[in-house]
Chains A and B, each alone.
Chain A
């Protein structure tokens, strides 16, 4: 029986090559798109799945409120560690203090590299399940040891055995390589861990870290935790919630709440808004999941439409089989077998498409997805996928075809009823509704990105280069370096900053000023800068002046941004002072000397944060910022700058970043979403048009006789073209009417998450509508004109 079904199915496929091609290629493209999306989703969901103990690992987070707004983040103070160990130590397998992910110069002989890593407490190797390839697992116990990732070790030592070798950290502190661990994969939260050093080393080598030991107000550290098997994240969080408030009465006004942020949420649900977890990347997972389902649905609709449209051709077979004794159930089964076969063929093609496009897709999505040949779960879900697709695509045609009355069919009086094409029309409208909504959505995403890119940043990003200078060797050298860089001709201005131009590394409070409202809890972005800050960055001074060598007192001066002046409520700020708020503060009052226009430093989608820029008098800075010489080419400038740098710091690697590129990185995630959305929208439109093309050719074929008669009676080709195209255009217009408000509603909602946002303009709808109509016309016209220009004698003879 099954053999008979397959035989019929195959022969039908071969007989109707155009339909088979449309069906199989449409389904294949749809399935390939869905498979790529599924692989992407799987990759997103399996982030951090490297950790077998993922469910028990967490990071210690903190909520703090100021001015009725709750901020949430991983920065915690050092004494929290001691309180946690003492009071709740028995809840944890590991409690591990950690530094941030720091870039350090590591040198061995004349090799000097610049890599990122952390200082962590003992137990990190176990908690992070690091695979030690060589050396001692207990390395973090030593005070001056360093563990290197395999890649780092290779770069530094080549084929030499790294174990036991002495390296220098930042050209100052010696450390002994005691272990080498396997590199962590890209989809791992600790992917940036290229070296690992003992926490003790950090405390010993940095004075301020040592001093932070009992400072509850200095939130400059991270803590990771692994809970015991017999407890839960929630239970532990309930215990530790007010540990800081109890131990640090001075901080109580900020209502600090300590909690465990489970590893399973790190990557996908990392957004917080006013103390509430609001999502994160998981939204993209949902978004693409929905797009994947839609694309597959579109392909299934093609299959449904083409099968039912051609039903009259299959009707006789149904009638015969019924008269011979086939039951309806058997016919349903037969047609489902047929769709299963087609889906199976499409799947084979889809696998080919996926294999061919995986590389490009990885580039687009910035992933390293491999085709899961050996993953049994993948093949199992694939089987399910094929069956579901076959049922989705095949069940309506199967039920429809098997319902034919054999009497009418065999008598030749069978004519599909007046409303037989209605479901097809509904499905075409559904297809184009989805496609048009996707077009509109993609356009809005692209508009939002462009809108934010066009946002004035308040500084001139072009020709601005920043050089990381995070070794103690650089301290106090900025004036000499400025002279030399400018003398080399590679730069015209230089300033120095404590953080990159496009980031805020420090936020501070604890100030007071004239007119400060009672109970106001200020929080300002804090950056130390040097001379020529305004000039080098091309900032716009609104009031006052920049830091100047002519005023010795400028070492205790501050520049505010426009938002800070408004935020603090200072009238006529120039000449006023910002002081330490606590009565026994030793802080030297800062004199406001200038106000600059807002600089977009953090998110290009958010309002600019109130910021203060103070003069860094000890030269303890992290970056040199250079305004390159506009008279030279960029490469020439970099050459001059590099040689000047190397003359002064022969032992340090020269590294630099273009500020405009760094700023551009802020758009990466949205741009990735946009480019993926573009691809899948294009596929959706293509699949819909493929179906439309098939339907148009079917209608043209069905109306051959009518066209012939009309032609004989004097209809012109253009009249016939209009006649045949009109129906489809009506459907697409209907789809536009449905899709537009739907897309408007969804996309307005999406835009809400960006404080700095564009609006959903009418131009978006115009482009989407015109685009859809033009594509429809082109698709349909091919068949319409072909039918209309055929010789009527021929078409009349076909009956």
Chain B
């Protein structure tokens, strides 16, 4: 599903240029659950952003579903993104001014789904995430675990082929964290490809494969399942 080859990314500040990704290569097959680990600043998040088509690589190749997307413009990327990729963030990133229902509904609006069908889909996924009773609440009125469940609901409502999770349990206690991990496992078992960046060895063990990074390069790769 994903094949990156010699991927490069640089960051420039006024005086220094930092290499975030240094000729990184690996592939992810459909239905896989991959965890990416490494110390802060090793380039994990940069990688995730590029994989999520939020950011553009400075060099190398990025094949998504057999298509070279490295040189795509913003418009094409966003088109690809909204139909194929769902995001789960450490800090949930829900829109404060929208209710639970409206937050989850948002991706469907952008993909142009009709209102009646939107309602059906949102309710379905809220039911699945056991957050239906909170549908008319605003994010601030929810606990962290509930907020992350809403975020996951939002990530999956469009049935994306790929979910990118950036430390999804980072802001949660262990009970809530495990619940979120169970949700991700369920999704993976239902066929969704998952790439997860994490600091937690515990969470990483849920995955099929762990890629460890340092200074923008892959150092090891452990296959767990």
| A15 touching B97, Cβ below 8 Å | yes
B22-30, B75-83, B141-149, B207-215: which lies at the A interface?
B75-83
| B93 touching A322, Cβ below 8 Å | no
Counting CB contacts under 8 A, is A774 at the interface? no
| Interface of A, helix, strand, loop or mixed by DSSP | helix
| B107 touching A325, Cβ below 8 Å | yes
With contacts A406-B54, A407-B49, A411-B45 taken as known, whether A321 is within 8 angstroms of B106 at the C-beta atoms is: yes
With contacts A11-B97, A407-B54, A407-B55 taken as known, whether A323 is within 8 angstroms of B91 at the C-beta atoms is: no
Counting CB contacts under 8 A, is B218 at the interface? no
Among A1, A8, A410, A411, the residue within 8 A (CB) of B95 is: A8
Counting CB contacts under 8 A, is A162 at the interface? no
A406 to chain B, nearest CB (A): 5
Q: A4 CA to B115 CA in the complex, in Å?
A: 12
Counting CB contacts under 8 A, is B174 at the interface? no
Q: How many residues of A contact B (CB 8 A)?
A: 26
Residues of A within 8 A of B96 (CB): 317
Q: A280 CA to B81 CA in the complex, in Å?
A: 63
- CB-based nearest B residue for A329: B75
Residues of B within 8 A of A319 (CB): 93
B56 to chain A, nearest CB (A): 10
With contacts A324-B110, A407-B55 taken as known, whether A412 is within 8 angstroms of B91 at the C-beta atoms is: yes
Residues of B within 8 A of A15 (CB): 97
CB 8 Å contact bits of B90-123 with A (1 = contact, 0 = none): 0101111110001001110111000000000000
Q: A74 CA to B54 CA in the complex, in Å?
A: 76
Give residues 291-330 of A contacting B (CB, 8 Å).
Answer: 316-317, 319-328, 330
Counting CB contacts under 8 A, is A111 at the interface? no
Counting CB contacts under 8 A, is A12 at the interface? yes
Residues of B within 8 A of A1 (CB): 109
- CB-based nearest B residue for A316: B93
CB 8 Å contact bits of B47-78 with A (1 = contact, 0 = none): 00100101100000000000000000011001
Residues of B within 8 A of A322 (CB): 54, 78
Residues of A within 8 A of B94 (CB): 320
| B78 touching A327, Cβ below 8 Å | yes
| A327 touching B74, Cβ below 8 Å | yes
| A324 touching B54, Cβ below 8 Å | no
Residues of B within 8 A of A330 (CB): 110
With contacts A7-B102, A410-B89, A411-B45 taken as known, whether A324 is within 8 angstroms of B82 at the C-beta atoms is: yes
| A7 touching B98, Cβ below 8 Å | yes
Among B82, B83, B95, B102, the residue within 8 A (CB) of A320 is: B95
16 additional A-B residue pairs with CB within 8 Å, beyond A327-B75, A410-B91: A4-B102, A4-B106, A4-B109, A11-B97, A11-B98, A15-B97, A317-B95, A320-B93, A321-B95, A322-B54, A322-B78, A324-B106, A325-B78, A325-B83, A326-B110, A407-B45
B residues with CB within 8 A of A: 45, 49, 52, 54-55, 74-75, 78-79, 81-83, 87, 89, 91, 93-98, 102, 105-107, 109-111, 154
Could you list 17 A-B pairs, sorted by A, with CB under 8 Å? A4-B98, A4-B105, A7-B97, A7-B98, A7-B102, A8-B98, A11-B97, A11-B98, A12-B97, A15-B97, A317-B97, A321-B95, A323-B52, A325-B81, A325-B82, A326-B82, A410-B91
